[in-house]
Copies of this chain bind each other. A is one copy, B any other.
């Protein structure tokens, strides 16, 4: 049948709201017939499996397991939402400790059971850090691990669309870079609105500076707003976008929203963060980000914030000092 690949896709954390949506999304997109759902919480996992069976999909070999070895063995693509959920009032950073530990285990499982995996998408927060830890412990190449960051850019697109009462399609190349946390760098200079550069609109009657600042705040707090409105953490958009990332890595339509990627160049060292990226069958690749001096400064601040979080995790003993990373993963 019409699948992108026959390789095994592992959805880790499949019992949760995001994971179960990823399962449905992956099946609807017909990525591969061979999908395995993994979650340590067996009853809800079985419930998700049942729901997928009740959809009546055709052509699938869908399995579920709470056994780590069975889940990871032979996986060629993995998407993991398997962290603790963000609760109302929590920042993404509050989740740091618990999820850093989960990421370490996740990376080690990849190394142990499926070192030949092609591509891994990590989406549990703070994703920049959990993705970095996963990369470190998995031993994979930087091109093989990506984190979800697109959500910030799509939120910028959405806010501009609502502000100007135009189709989101008329907002082109909306971009945020750096951390996928409250210290993200919201760019304006990359974006056009109805063909007009956003930077030419900001500060005019169409979008006074103050309105733009408020709009940026809504972008940054987009996740918190969903919690306020729905009484639950955002789950449909992160799962949909992360499955689009996996689809691109499988050879589907390239994914061109910013994604979190490992960056280690003259400017940003040993960090995972959102850059201008493309995900395709060869993995994730990034280009340098260019913005106005103010935007560049904001990106630097976002980078420094991530460096602080990285230090926190190193101080917690979850990651070794950077100097020792190459021992764990020579690809870094």
User: Residue A257 at the B interface, CB < 8 A?
Assistant: yes
Given contacts A46-B229, A229-B43, contact A234 B28 (CB under 8 A): no
A257 touches B154 (CB 8 A): no
B236 touches A56 (CB 8 A): no
Given contacts A50-B225, A226-B47, contact A56 B241 (CB under 8 A): yes
A61 to chain B, nearest CB (A): 7
A234 touches B51 (CB 8 A): yes
Contact with B along A16-47 (1 / 0, CB 8 A): 00001100110011000000000000011011
Question: Which residue, of A20, A54, A158, A231, has the highest number of chain B Cβ atoms within 10 A?
Answer: A54
- Bound Cα distance A56, B257 (Å): 9
B53 touches A230 (CB 8 A): no
Q: Which residues of B contact A51 (CB under 8 A)?
A: 226, 230, 234-237
List residues of A (173-222) whose CB comes within 8 Å of B's CBs.
Answer: 222
A37 to chain B, nearest CB (A): 12
- Bound Cα distance A153, B54 (Å): 8
- Bound Cα distance A51, B241 (Å): 11
User: Residue A52 at the B interface, CB < 8 A?
Assistant: yes
Q: Which residues of B contact A61 (CB under 8 A)?
A: 167
Number of interface residues of A (CB under 8 A): 49
Question: Which residue, of A158, A161, A228, has the highest number of chain B Cβ atoms within 10 A?
Answer: A158
A240 touches B154 (CB 8 A): no
- Bound Cα distance A47, B58 (Å): 32
List residues of A (225-260) whose CB comes within 8 Å of B's CBs.
Answer: 225-226, 228-231, 234-237, 240-241, 257
Given contacts A24-B236, A150-B56, A236-B55, contact A158 B229 (CB under 8 A): no
- Bound Cα distance A228, B60 (Å): 25
User: Residue A155 at the B interface, CB < 8 A?
Assistant: yes
Residue of B at shortest CB range from A222?
A: B54
Residue of B at shortest CB range from A167?
A: B61
- Bound Cα distance A55, B151 (Å): 7
Q: Which residues of B contact A229 (CB under 8 A)?
A: 43-44, 46-47, 50
B167 touches A234 (CB 8 A): no
A328 to chain B, nearest CB (A): 35
A74 to chain B, nearest CB (A): 19
A7 to chain B, nearest CB (A): 18
3 cross-chain pairs, A with B, having the tightest CB-CB distances, nearest first? A47-B229, A47-B230, A54-B237
Report 7 cross-chain contacts, Cβ distance below 8 Å, ordered by A residue.
Answer: A21-B21, A47-B228, A51-B237, A53-B161, A54-B158, A55-B154, A61-B167
